[in-house]
Structure 1
Amino acid sequence: MAAAQSLSQLSLVQLKTSLFLTPKTLHKQNPCLFAHHNHQNQDQLSITTLPLKTRSGLVPKPKASLSSVPVQSNASSPISTKKSDSPIIVIDNYDSFTYNLCQYMGELGCFFEVYRNDEITVEELKRMNPRGILISPGPGTPQDSGISLQTVLELGPVVPVFGVCMGLQCIGEAFGGKVVRSPSGVMHGKSSLVYYDEKEEDSLFAGLSNPFVAGRYHSLVIEKESFPDDELVITAWTEDGLVMAARHKKYKHLQRNLRG
């Protein structure tokens, strides 16, 4: 539903050697570098590696399903051999585009772990001491996002949080905004001009023309009339004024609702 091509400019990203993922295939040799933890819904895995350790032991090969994808290894792919005691935690809201975002982080050599939104609690997340949190896109509304809303409220003041699509909606709703259907209708794979505030966007769109053409893939938006401008500031918008990005005025939560 969204992309984050400016991840390299966020405080939660640090350049290292590379790990390569693709939306449908994971290329890697070391299962410790990328962990997609799921011990409840093995037949719903979007992507996995074998072997992969979770809290319940080794994950068996997923059953064939519409959301299962093949796993391949690529011995020639450069990968990071470093681990981190403070990984970037990706909260997967059951969306395949999560792995496009992982692709970007992997290309930067980031160490990250992926958890479904109903696999862990916020307290468990705190104990992981993450140096950053990425909240993925997902179907439904923020009310369907598991721990995402509470994560924004409890960890946002101390950990950089980057929300994409539903992740942005979670940030907006957590601070009092309303998430509604886009007055422009369903925007799946449609392009739009996006404008951004060059003073407020905090380098998220650095290097892009203003406006720029971006692909969109969403049907919900944060309602502008109820936008919590006492807490958040709008940093990007469409020609018809729909919110495309925002950040917290103090904690600088960031999001981009685009595939551009």
Structure 2
Amino acid sequence: MQAKLLLEDGTLFTGRSFGAQGDTTGEVVFNTGITGYQEVLSDPSYCNQIVTMTYPLIGNYGITRDDFESVRPFVNAFVVRRYEPVPSNWRAEYTLDELLKEHGIVGISDIDTRMLTRILRNHGTMRGILTAGEHSVEELQEMLLTSALVKDQVQKTSTPHVYNSPGHGERIVLIDYGAKSGIVRELSARGCDIVVVPQDVTAEQVRRLNPDGIQLSNGPGDPKDVPHAVETIRELLGEYPIFGICLGHQLLALAGGADTEKLKFGHRGGNHPVKELATGRCYITSQNHGYTVKEDSLAGTDLEITHINNNDKTIEGVRHTKFPAFSVQYHPEAAPGPFDNSYLFDRFIEMIREHKKSSPKQPRQAAMMAAMRGAR
């Protein structure tokens, strides 16, 4: 069946449909990864977006249970140059087409993704509509114009309930703004006792869990759309060590008095070079974000830059000069290196242990159980 992708600037792409049938709108973005389409589809940070893969062959190794980053995909639609319906991989359990059909995600193949990517790079990300139906171009334009802008992505992707991933080490409260499972995996590998809480958790609810440290997760959308999260982080700054990733990085910066702005076309892929200023070392990182911390907004705050992007010099990491808190814009749990950036989790644990030496905690099991009962 024929499928159409219409951008808000009027550009029309016509290709072949795969995945679910129907119509969907969203922000059209591109990802430069050569592999990892399953991880892209299941990354909550892509919520409500139409994702274009720049690598031309997608679907060739199928879908496997172990590679999901969340319980289900969150993208609105998927755009590829060529879809391979028959995967060649001993780990494959089913096909990409079956995954998209299962979750109602529309896909389009056999379009010029190089042209689409060039448009987005030149003019910036823009809204679009993808259909596998019989709508005319005029109907699609009207549907796109009347579609509403969505700003509740964090609420959609966050867990609604508190849950625990037990461990015998440091207790980490992971505030879930759309967290990838890789964050839990990295913390669990270090023996942490992880309590995952919803995005609208209050500072008092966090305190009742008596954590050793707080992890701010990745997530979708504009950080200014979740002002309650900024207020919670601001209230907790200085009380507990904090480590922010992606959206968590932007929220920490806002809580510290800085500002954020939207990038022209964002950073999405597994090949972004980032320089650590303290060592001069360059790391290849996995990224997925459309917003960045404004450098000139750091003046007068207690935040200092720790990492920069080698391509466009945008801020990729900050730390608080007075409190035990730091963050990075990229995904250290995504392992494109494959383990180049996992040291950041080790640094977080070391920060927690240093903090505990200066402010020992009281026994906490009863407090945690009471807080979890109250949160339910």
TM-score when scaled to structure 2? 0.43
Cα deviation, residue 190, structure 1 = 4.9
Amino acid at match of 1:233: E
Which has a greater percent of strand?
A: 2
- Whether 1:241 aligns to 2:313 is yes
- For structure 2, list consecutive stretches of 5 or more residues without a partner in the other structure: 1-42, 45-65, 72-155, 337-376
Corresponding residue number in structure 1 for 2:219: 138
- Whether 1:231 aligns to 2:302 is yes
> How many residues are matched?
183
- Whether 1:219 aligns to 2:300 is no
Cα deviation, residue 228, structure 1 = 4.2
How far, CA to CA, are the matches of 1:102 and 1:140 in structure 2?
Answer: 21
Structure 1 residues 257 and 103 mapped into 2: Cα distance closer, same or farther (>3 Å)? Answer: same
Cα deviation, residue 252, structure 1 = 3.3
Question: SS in structure 1 opposite 2:252?
Answer: helix
Q: Deviations over 1:199-224 (max 9, x none)?
A: 6xxxxxxxxx8112222211100011
Cα deviation, residue 229, structure 1 = 5.2
Corresponding residue number in structure 1 for 2:256: 175
How far, CA to CA, are the matches of 1:194 and 1:45 in structure 2?
Answer: 27
Corresponding residue number in structure 2 for 1:70: none
Answer whether contact 1:88 1:111 (CA < 8 A) is retained.
yes
Answer whether contact 1:163 1:255 (CA < 8 A) is retained.
yes
Corresponding residue number in structure 2 for 1:107: 189
Amino acid at match of 1:220: Y
- For structure 1, list consecutive stretches of 5 or more residues without a partner in the other structure: 3-19, 26-43, 56-78, 200-208
Q: Deviations over 1:165-184 (max 9, x none)?
A: 1111011111222111124x
Cα deviation, residue 46, structure 1 = 7.4
Bigger radius of gyration among the two = 2
Corresponding residue number in structure 1 for 2:278: 198
Q: Deviations over 1:1-50 (max 9, x none)?
A: 79xxxxxxxxxxxxxxxxx997357xxxxxxxxxxxxxxxxxx68789xx
Cα deviation, residue 81, structure 1 = 6.2
The partner residue of 1:91 within 170, 175, 178 is 175
Question: What is the root-mean-square deviation of aligned Cα atoms in Å?
Answer: 3.2
The partner residue of 1:23 within 69, 76, 79 is 69
Answer whether contact 1:235 1:245 (CA < 8 A) is retained.
yes
How far, CA to CA, are the matches of 2:197 and 2:162 in structure 1?
Answer: 10
- Whether 1:127 aligns to 2:199 is no
Structure 1 residues 47 and 225 mapped into 2: Cα distance closer, same or farther (>3 Å)? Answer: closer
Which has a greater percent of helix?
A: 2
Q: Deviations over 1:76-102 (max 9, x none)?
A: xxx9664x7x72101101x252x2100
Cα deviation, residue 234, structure 1 = 0.2
Identity of aligned pairs, percent? 23
Question: SS in structure 2 opposite 1:225?
Answer: helix
Corresponding residue number in structure 1 for 2:268: 188
Structure 1 residues 96 and 123 mapped into 2: Cα distance closer, same or farther (>3 Å)? Answer: closer
Answer whether contact 1:134 1:163 (CA < 8 A) is retained.
yes
Q: Deviations over 1:191-248 (max 9, x none)?
A: 222111226xxxxxxxxx8112222211100011212453101000012220000000
Matches within 5 A, 1:5-84: 23-24=69-70, 82=168
